[in-house]
Amino acid sequence: MQFLSIVFWGNPLSDWAKALGTTVGLYLAVKVIKTILINRMRVAAEHTRSSVDNIILEVAVQTQELLIILAGIYAGLHFLTISDKIISIIDKIFYIVVALQVGYWLGGFINHLVIFREKKQAGNKEEQTAVHAFGLFGKILIWTIVALVTVQNVSGMKMDALITSLGVGGIAAGLAVQNILKDIFASLSIFLDKPFLVGDYIQVGDIGGTIENIGLKSTRIRTLQGEEVIFSNSDLLESRIHNYRSMQRRMVDITIGVSPNTPYQTLQSLPALFKEIIEKQEDVTFDRANLSNLGNYTVNFEIMYHIESADFDLFVQRREAIYLEIIHHLQEKNVDMPYPTQTVLLQQ
């Protein structure tokens, strides 16, 4: 075993073997413990109401692979003789990784709290949106503190000098990320003012859909066609938003055109006919029906009624039923609903 006495980079191979064995052994041990812990905590979380096992599970899941590897390397280095300069560099790298890991753990803890509160406030969209907002800004605060503390300890700068330098550099950085900051402040305005909540149906220009997620930079909307439309928060707030959340009834205004050749008595009877048709429909309130104008090809009647619900599907169903009934009764009365035609005269 004389080859173990061979010196490589200032250390015999025997010490390198001990360092490697410690690194690999510690890595494998922690990986096994992490896997067992995650599996057991998942089973426990499904069968208990306590949130402790959920927190432990979240911490285990958020433990990064890089931390485990560096922890093994850091432990193995104790068997080697290394210069103070290299040790100092390794210490700083390890400190950065540990700080990032603490950020992941705290972020995971906030995720758990957000999910817990959202389940508890199921059905209350305002509370769920507020919880999501606090979780989002809680993460921003955590990572800001982690970044400041890490830079202070790694660079050796004092906190007041660091904040001052950030203030000077922040002007240049702010100009560079102006649009990003604009979206972030817009998200803050959305969370505080609540012009819309997750689950609301809104209309922005010619795009309408249900709010699925309000993020730090963008808001995601699911349209009736099933596609996902993503708006930047600043663009969304600068647009005119129609929010149907508080709508309790829907007014419908339709126009029915009949032939100018329709007899006078029949024209007189049509408003009463339209009223009768609409009043037979459930969840529908008749408003008025009047002859509104004389078109180029038709005599036009304007009909107004209210759907006593904000349900879009109900609106579509009742509108269809009313149209079909109107067409049916007009056909029974031999009343035509003309459409523009064009006659072409050919000369031979």
User: DSSP assignment of 252-274, as one string?
Assistant: EEEEEEE-TTS-HHHHHHHHHHH
**DSSP three-state, residue 333:** coil
Q: What span, in angstroms and rounded, lies between the C-alpha atoms of 187 and 334? A: 59
How many other β-carbons are positioned within 10 Å of the β-carbon of residue 114? 19
C-alpha torsion angle, residues 306, 308, 311, 314 (rounded to 10): -70
Instruction: Report the candidate in 336, 190, 200, 192 with the shortest Cα–Cα distance to residue 266.
Output: 336
The residues near 265 (Cβ < 8 Å, ≥ 6 apart) are none
Q: Determine whether 96 is exposed, middle or buried from the number of CB atoms within 10 Å of its CB (0-12, 13-18, 19+).
A: middle
DSSP per-residue letters across 169-191: HHHHHHHHTHHHHHHHHHHHHHH
* Termini Cα distance of the chain: 115
* Alpha helix stretches (DSSP H) within the chain: 13-47, 52-62, 65-76, 84-120, 125-155, 159-176, 178-193, 233-238, 264-279, 312-332
Q: What span, in angstroms and rounded, lies between the C-alpha atoms of 271 and 289? A: 5
Q: Which two tokens stand for residue 2?
A: 């004389």
**DSSP three-state, residue 286:** strand
Name residues of the chain where pLDDT drops below 50: none
Please name the amino acid found at residue 296. Answer: N
Which pLDDT score is estimated for 10? 64
Q: What span, in angstroms and rounded, lies between the C-alpha atoms of 107 and 281? A: 53
**DSSP three-state, residue 161:** helix
Output the CA–CA distances (angstroms, integers) from residue 201 to 123, 150, 221, 241, 294, in the order listed: 15, 43, 9, 10, 37
Q: What span, in angstroms and rounded, lies between the C-alpha atoms of 297 and 339? A: 7
Which pLDDT score is estimated for 328? 94
Exposure class string for 303-342: b at 16+ Cβ within 10 A, else e: bebbbebeeeebbeebbebbeebbeeebeeeebeeeeeee
Which pLDDT score is estimated for 128? 66
Please name the amino acid found at residue 163. Answer: I
Which pLDDT score is estimated for 8? 58
Beta bridge partners of 208: 203
Which pLDDT score is estimated for 96? 82
Q: Which two tokens stand for residue 42?
A: 């998942």
What are the tens digits of pLDDT across the range 268-326? 999 999 999 999 999 999 999 999 999 888 999 999 999 998 888 889 999 999 999 99
Which pLDDT score is estimated for 305? 95
Q: What span, in angstroms and rounded, lies between the C-alpha atoms of 201 and 197? A: 9
Beta bridge partners of 301: 256, 291
